[in-house]
A and B are shown apart, each in its own frame.
Chain A
Amino acid sequence: MAHSIVPPYLLARLAETDAEGLQRAALAARRSLAADPPLRAERQREGVFVPSSVVLDAAEPGMASFTGLAGVTEPQRTISDAEGRERLPGTVVRRETDGPVDDVAVNEAYDGLGATHALLLEAFGRASIDGLGLPLDATVHYGEDYDNAFWDGERMVFGDGDGEVFGRFTASLSVIGHELAHGVTQYTAGLVYEGQSGALNESFSDVIGALVEQHRLGQTAGEAGWLIGEGLFTAAVEGRALRSMIEPGTAYDDDVLGRDPQPADMAGYIETADDNGGVHLNSGIPNRAFALAARAVGGFAWEGVGAVWYDAMTGPLDERSDFAAFAEATLVASDARFGAGSEVSSAIAEAWRTVGVRSDERAD
């Protein structure tokens, strides 16, 4: 499988073409030219002007293959240490090509970013967060007893946990992948972080987080546990992880934390003003749709349903898409990649029905 980055003049040419066999490439090129987000502005990197561009998946029928911009496919990681303060970026403690240091959180962040970069590149042909080799910056040891990890729009930030409920957040590869994927969403669909579009934003981060772990371990969809944040809780907590994609609402049941509140289908959809409209709660619904479809198809999830989800996120998706709109986008993407009536398309359609997002057969 060959993947590449396309310079803008070729994008413009592709966008104008209607030649049979190039229509999908033309569509992708027009999407990229029309939807250039602010943070995908032209960058100066190492003194070389790097224009905005797009990654084309040459594995798809009718998609063009290009090579170019040597070097941007290698990760460029920089890990900083906040030393217990809530101030970013902190002090640089490990750069790309540096060897491991005497700090497990630093090494976990470095390795986790590398694993996520590898998934994006090897499975989807995407060079880093922006498709252009954007440097991967992370900060560890953020704050004191800080029970969180987040994406601040430019970098991934990890706390060490309070030691009572949570340990350090770099201990979970799926959480590292989750945070990096927020960057991918920012540079692609730009799903607004509120309500159903926000829950889809969260869900895509969980999807990438789960796929990073599976890709690293060589796990099939049937072998995977579909847990997000496994290993973050201390031994005192009654729980396996932050979330279960295959069984939302079952990840923990603890005296102090309460029970995992995620709904497994639309009947349990939670209306709330907190958490940007319950983005970390209702994400359980599309999470389950993904995991069910991936298990039904079998094999490596990033090759089937994962590729479809990535296509949908990088396709013509409105930034305020609701679950139904995203479900439709996945079905369009699946038909385009695997064919209408394919096993993958059927599994995805069935999964969306199971979680209550779609109730009828799609009109073709």
Chain B
Amino acid sequence: MSEQTDDETGAGADAGARALRITVARSGGVAGMSPSWTVTAEGENDVDGWLDLVESCPWDAGDAGDPDGADRIVYTIRVLVQAPEVEGERDARVPEQQLTGPWRDLVDRVKAEAAPRPRRAKR
């Protein structure tokens, strides 16, 4: 059902189908690394399962701004949906201090279900 992809949407390929793609990107942090996780869903049951979670997030709450201090993590969440009853694209920037409730549930589920990139044997 889900996989980690860089460029494939998995959504919108068929105009009549229900499909969804969610990308969570992390930036900031003392390590300065920017990992990202992507899941795609197709079919009514899969898409609706994700949409319930997506719709529960406070997308209209506005940007909370940058937190105090330094080396804090910020999540960027992007959802692409192909379904008759919802708009096609949503974006949010969520500092880790605001990553609670449904935001936290969404990010945790995307990270858990995005397949990890395989690590080759050490050279």
Contacts and interface: CB of A to CB of B under 8 A. Distances in A.
Interface residues of B, number: 28
B66 A175 contact: no
A257 B33 contact: yes
Given A150-B72, A182-B71, A201-B70, A275 B123 contact: no
Interface string A256-280: 1100011000000000001110001
Contacts of A147: 29, 31
A275 B30 contact: no
A346 interface: no
Given A238-B123, A255-B117, A256-B117, A150 B29 contact: yes
A153 B69 contact: yes
Interface in B29-60: 29-35
B34 A179 contact: no
A275 B27 contact: yes
A262 B33 CA distance: 10
Nearest to A86: B96
A182 B69 CA distance: 8
A243 B32 contact: yes
Contact of A276 (B66, B116, B120, B123): B66
A256 B116 contact: yes
Contacts of B68: 152-153
A185 B71 CA distance: 13
Contacts, number: 87
Interface string A181-218: 01001000000011000000110010000000000000
Interface residues on A, range: 35 or more
B118 interface: yes
A283 B123 CA distance: 29
Given A150-B70, A205-B70, A179 B30 contact: yes
Nearest to A241: B31
Contacts of A205: 70
Nearest to A194: B66
A171 interface: no
B115 to A, nearest CB: 12
A166 to B, nearest CB: 7
Interface string B65-88: 011111111101000000000000
Contacts of B119: 236, 254-256
A149 interface: yes
A226 B96 CA distance: 30
A182 B76 contact: no
Listed from nearest, the 3 A-B pairs whose CB atoms lie closest are A280-B32, A153-B68, A150-B71
12 contacts: A147-B31, A148-B30, A185-B70, A193-B70, A194-B66, A201-B70, A238-B122, A238-B123, A274-B74, A274-B76, A275-B32, A281-B32
Interface of B: 25, 27-35, 66-74, 76, 96, 116-120, 122-123
Interface of A: 86, 147-154, 166, 169, 175, 178-179, 182, 185, 193-194, 201-202, 205, 229, 232, 236, 238, 242-243, 254-257, 261-262, 274-276, 280-281, 283
